[in-house]
Structure 1
Amino acid sequence: MTPEFAPASDTTLPLWLVWSGDPLPDDAGSWPQASGFTGKTGQICLLPDAQGGLRGAIMGLGDRAQAGRDRFALARAASLPVGDWHLAALPDGLDPDQLALGWLLGQYRFTRYKGAPVQGPRLVCPQGVDADRLLAIAGGEFLTRDLINTPASDLGPDKLEAAARALANDIGARVEVICGGQLLKQNFPLIHAVGRASASEPRLIDIRLGDAGPMLTIVGKGVCFDTGGLNLKPGASMGLMKKDMGGAATALGLLKMLARSGAASGLRLRVLIPAVENSVAGNAFRPGDVLPSRKGLTVEVNNTDAEGRLVLADAMTYAAEENPDLMITLATLTGAARVALGPDLPPFYCDDDATAAAIQAAGMAVGDPVWRMPFWEAYEPQIEPAIADLDNAPSGGMAGSITAALFLRRFAEGAGRYAHFDIYGWQPSAAPGRPKGGVGQAARALMAALPQILAR
């Protein structure tokens, strides 16, 4: 589905937003009080006219002191009756951009398998808000969610390639794909090893947009389904593994945001997606195998379920050969990150303090929070096994997100700056603007931070 604002007209319905305990607007009359309206979070009171029709509504924002808990307050307005609405007034302390984006994100529904989407209420974009920019952001987020929510039966590596090609065609980008046996011939042995057991061949998708300016390269993990390989996941852990391409989905969503908003202008933008399915078959890679990499480093496989870092490693090496000014990896990489910070707050790793500070501040400002974690060098020996250069799954069970980040950093040499995001890509329970299911993380934070980062 496509997010949209309503056109301005004289027939749109007014919506008043009020904090709990604040006076109600005079135009509301006595009906809200008589109806028991208190202004609690998300409470909506529909206002009747003299003929019993609808003349507007009031929505509660809750306790002003707890405003920071609700990133997208206006997403709750999705339950309003179908029609076109405008904000009658903007209370102090609310960002109109966040309100309008919240409304757009609240429109999202995944209806691929349930027929046409139901029309919901539409908002007239508030004055002073860049509607095109917000529509680009919401459109990118909708793409990310759609891709993550689509099951692997309809989104294997081949279909992920088709989605990438469709986006590239839409924004005027160029695409090259290296597939199947060509991965070995062109020296991508890790990508080939992880994906060779699947019925859909492994591939590396390479999208480019722009020919001048600083170079930004985004590498997104595209494991379209992860059985765990021969280290087979239990059923409870395998149930959500259609989302293991959440890094790729977020990378494509960010690409759409940047292109559609005009923020990609003046950049050389590259998106690399190693697209594989980690399957079980007679030719699957095995625990104990030692695999070569494009970089020349050997990797001992101590768990075939730690495959994401393997496919990223070859793609990162390829990316670093062009010496991008900034390289970013987005990956649903470790359960350790979820244990540490939960599903809502993805950790990220970056050696450059100014870049890290810009990303974290931007994430908080736009309601897309991320939290910096350290490349803790004292843990480097944990990823160095006895018989190979690197270990893909250190034993011990501690600091799993950090050791994964240290592993990836070995393949970022050549990039001017590097940042890695260990995202979850899934909303486990519904929240305003974020229904249960696939969700983008870090894309809006990066979009907001990029001008400051790349100006250095």
Structure 2
Amino acid sequence: MTLEFAPASDTALPLWPVWSDEDLPPEAGTWPGASGFAGKTGQICLLPDSDGGLRGALLGLGERAQAAWDRFPLARAQGLPKGDWRLAALPPGLDPDQLILGWLLGQYRFTRYKGAPVQGPRLVCPDGVDGPRLLAIAEAEFLTRDLINTPASDLGPDRLEAAARALANQIGARVEVISGTALVKQNFPLIHAVGRAAASEPRLIDIRLGDAGPMLTIVGKGVCFDTGGLNLKPGASMGLMKKDMGGAATTLGLLKMLAGTGAAAGLRIRVLIPAVENSVAGNAFRPGDVLSSRKGLSVEVNNTDAEGRLVLADAMTYAAEENPDLMISLATLTGAARVALGPDLPPLYCDDDATALALQQAGMAVGDPLWRMPFWDAYEPLIEPAIADLDNAPSGGMAGSITAALFLRRFAEGAGRYAHLDIYGWQPVAAPGRPKGGVGQGARAILAALPRLF
């Protein structure tokens, strides 16, 4: 499937999005009333012409009071017949860019293993809407979704590196990769320890774009599959672990967005992805091990299934050595975040009020919500075990997302500002513009917040 807008032409059929409480356009005639159309959310009414063909359609938007919770109402129009369509009117109260982005995101299909891409209805980009920018955003989100949806059999650390190199070549970025035993020699002991038992060796992917301006560094968790290690996950919990590289996938999607929209101009952007597979073998790291970190802090491993914060720790330390103006970590890190806020609302941790407010407000504005949670200093003792500097999995099970964020913050020292997003990276139930499966979270919020961040 090619993601594109239809060319403007007289043959494109008109589409009227309508609220349930508004009068229907006079062009619709009496047919909608006779066919039971009431403007309910997602309801489509095809308008016949005198010859039995199509002359247009109505799309129900539902009640205006629910509009704030419906991120991509126009995505429901993917149920229209194949052909070219144009918006006969932009519904009042809705952001045109967000509306059209919803149409584009609704076209996503993951067809790598089944069937072939099918071209659905196409939309003429309305006047005043920046079509190329929205296409760049949607294509970047599709990259994220494709990476998350691809199983580990076809996307281990080596393949994730290949995807990163392909993107870097596309946007003119530079790439360096440290892998295997070189991680030990160059002082990335935690990344190596977590990934050394896998068939595809662990690696740290380092991408740079831009040579001048403030530095934005994004660190994405790239655990391509997580068995839980020797603290083996039960089968029901392991089934979705191809998505444990959702932070890396979202980070690559964000990099593609920044480059494709021109938002990267005037910035130095660095992306770091520790890419590993947490596997079981004779050389796997063990519960009770005390590991060294690049920062020099020792870490007691009380659960090998809390591996994401370990690989992020070395990558973040490396990032902080350059003193970036803003460092952001993106990771499918804790089940506790899902218990607290569910799959749709990632926690945002940030000590800088202006940065946190910019990200949260931007996320709400573009349908990519974040919810601020506290770096609660009173919980710091929970991550300090008796025999090492840090504990990767505090006992008790309470405040798991907060203690994980506190653990990461220990390795952000040197960055001007630091923010952490504990994302899910998965859409468990299909929604307009977000089919069931891999999904990016936080990238569009960061993109929209950039003017306020620098």
Same fold, TM-score > 0.5, yes or no = yes
**Residue 244 of structure 1: aligned partner:** 244
Q: 1:2 deviation in Å?
A: 4.7
Contact 2:218 2:327 in 1 (8 A): yes
Runs of 4+ in 1 over 4 A off after TM superposition: none
Q: 1:21 deviation in Å?
A: 2.5
Q: What is the rounded CA distance, in whole Å, between the counterparts of 2:84 and 2:100 in structure 1?
A: 14
Q: What is the rounded CA distance, in whole Å, between the counterparts of 1:166 and 1:346 in structure 2?
A: 28
Contact 2:363 2:370 in 1 (8 A): yes
- Per-residue CA deviations over 1:80-118 (Å, capped at 9, x if unaligned) read 000111100112111111110000000000000013211
Contact 1:290 1:298 in 2 (8 A): yes
Which residue type is aligned with residue 439 of structure 1? V
Contact 2:2 2:119 in 1 (8 A): no
- Per-residue CA deviations over 1:302-359 (Å, capped at 9, x if unaligned) read 0000000000000000000000000000000000000000000000100000000000
Which residue type is aligned with residue 392 of structure 1? N
| 1:48-63 equivalence runs, <5 A | 48-63=48-63
| 1:6-25 equivalence runs, <5 A | 6-25=6-25
**Residue 140 of structure 1: aligned partner:** 140
Q: What is the rounded CA distance, in whole Å, between the counterparts of 1:322 and 1:61 in structure 2?
A: 49
Q: What is the rounded CA distance, in whole Å, between the counterparts of 1:172 and 1:42 in structure 2?
A: 41
Q: What is the rounded CA distance, in whole Å, between the counterparts of 1:33 and 1:378 in structure 2?
A: 61
Q: 1:22 deviation in Å?
A: 1.3
- Per-residue CA deviations over 1:214-251 (Å, capped at 9, x if unaligned) read 00000000000000000000000000000000000000
Q: 1:65 deviation in Å?
A: 1.5
Q: What is the rounded CA distance, in whole Å, between the counterparts of 1:330 and 1:13 in structure 2?
A: 42
**Residue 333 of structure 2: aligned partner:** 333
- Per-residue CA deviations over 1:139-190 (Å, capped at 9, x if unaligned) read 1100000000000000000000000000000101010000001000100000
After TM superposition, the score normalised by the length of structure 2 is 0.99
Q: Residue 58 of structure 2: SS of its match in structure 1?
A: strand
Q: What is the rounded CA distance, in whole Å, between the counterparts of 2:226 and 2:330 in structure 1?
A: 17
**Residue 158 of structure 1: aligned partner:** 158
Contact 1:2 1:142 in 2 (8 A): no
Which residue type is aligned with residue 443 of structure 2? A
Number of residue pairs matched by the alignment: 454
Instruction: Report the aligned-residue RMSD.
Output: 0.6
Q: What is the rounded CA distance, in whole Å, between the counterparts of 1:140 and 1:91 in structure 2?
A: 27
Q: What is the rounded CA distance, in whole Å, between the counterparts of 1:93 and 1:105 in structure 2?
A: 20
- Higher mean alpha-carbon deviation, 390-399 vs 20-29, is at 20-29
Q: 1:451 deviation in Å?
A: 1.5
Which residue type is aligned with residue 325 of structure 1? D
Does 2:181 match 1:187?
A: no
- Per-residue CA deviations over 1:279-301 (Å, capped at 9, x if unaligned) read 00000000000000000000000
After TM superposition, the score normalised by the length of structure 1 is 0.99
Does 2:297 match 1:273?
A: no
- Per-residue CA deviations over 1:28-86 (Å, capped at 9, x if unaligned) read 11111111100000000001111111111001000111111211000000110001111
Q: What is the rounded CA distance, in whole Å, between the counterparts of 1:273 and 1:346 in structure 2?
A: 20
Q: What is the rounded CA distance, in whole Å, between the counterparts of 1:3 and 1:80 in structure 2?
A: 16
Structure 2, unaligned stretches of length 5 or more?
Answer: none
Contact 2:189 2:291 in 1 (8 A): yes
Q: What is the rounded CA distance, in whole Å, between the counterparts of 1:368 and 1:3 in structure 2?
A: 21
Which residue type is aligned with residue 324 of structure 1? P
Structure 1, unaligned stretches of length 5 or more?
Answer: none
Contact 1:288 1:302 in 2 (8 A): yes
Q: Residue 15 of structure 2: SS of its match in structure 1?
A: strand
Which residue type is aligned with residue 319 of structure 1? A
Q: What is the rounded CA distance, in whole Å, between the counterparts of 2:218 and 2:408 in structure 1?
A: 14
Q: What is the rounded CA distance, in whole Å, between the counterparts of 2:232 and 2:46 in structure 1?
A: 53
Q: 1:372 deviation in Å?
A: 0.3
| 1:146-225 equivalence runs, <5 A | 146-225=146-225
Contact 1:2 1:139 in 2 (8 A): no
**Residue 81 of structure 1: aligned partner:** 81
Which residue type is aligned with residue 42 of structure 2? G
Which residue type is aligned with residue 214 of structure 2? P
Does 2:350 match 1:350?
A: yes
Contact 2:194 2:284 in 1 (8 A): yes
- Higher mean alpha-carbon deviation, 88-97 vs 158-167, is at 88-97
Q: What is the rounded CA distance, in whole Å, between the counterparts of 2:435 and 2:2 in structure 1?
A: 16
Q: Percent identity?
A: 87
Q: What is the rounded CA distance, in whole Å, between the counterparts of 2:310 and 2:377 in structure 1?
A: 20
